[in-house]
Amino acid sequence: MIASKVRLDLDAPIIPNQSLGGLILGTPISELEDLVFGLGSWKDGTCTLISPFEARYSFGKGEIEAAVDVRNGRIFKLSAKIGYRGKLFAQIRVGISVQQALELEPRLYYDEVEELILAAGLPGLSLDIPEIDPPIETVPGMNISGISVFVENSGNSR
């Protein structure tokens, strides 16, 4: 096994289709052994099998999550949750209002089918809201509950 030299960084910028929290999409989970070994035992965090092909690692108090395709062992999605301080486009962070995010970045829009905020022409990015299937008129008043970057066309869900 390769020892991990990666350190989680709750202030790292969020880069669509690339990285978040000091982690890089496409990295084999085996290269992060120091981060994942002991999760839920002596380290804060969890490892959960979400589906037959997806394992999800939650680090610390859940500020960073990594989704791994168990077929190839690579990270295909990274998510910033409450407590993450890094920003998307140097201005949008978890916890701000959807309205504020829409004003800061004109490419953002709410996709009713996906129930996510996406960015037009920018693959590998989604912003979460705290409710499932909300009335569309209530979305701008909600706060962003998570920001995810992912490998576009990974075959796994956002």
Tokens of 37: 């070994």
Any idea where the domains of the chain sit in the sequence?
98-150
The pLDDT of residue 76 is 97
How far is the CA of 98 from the CAs of 67, 101, 103, 110, 114, in angstroms? 24, 5, 9, 9, 16
| Distance separating alpha carbons of residues 133 and 116, to the nearest angstrom | 10
pLDDT on residue 2 = 46
Residue with more model confidence, 126 or 46: 126
Q: Virtual CA dihedral for 76, 74, 8, 31, nearest 10 degrees? A: -170
- Tokens at residue 148, please? 């995810």
- DSSP letter, residue 141: G
By CB atoms closer than 10 A (0-12, 13-18, 19+), residue 11 is exposed
Question: How confident is the model over 48-73, as pLDDT tens digits?
Answer: 899 999 999 999 888 999 999 999 99
Cα atoms in the Cβ-side hemisphere of radius 13 Å centred on 113: 0
Band of residue 1 on the pLDDT scale cut at 50, 70, 90: very low
**pLDDT tens sequence across 84-119:** 999 999 999 999 999 999 999 999 999 999 999 999
Contact indicator for 129, 145 with CB cutoff of 8 Å = yes
Q: Which two tokens stand for residue 19?
A: 């990285």
Residue 90 in 3-state DSSP?
A: coil
Percentage of the chain beyond pLDDT 90 is 74
Q: Which of 25, 13, 38, 45 is nearest to 158 (CA)?
A: 25
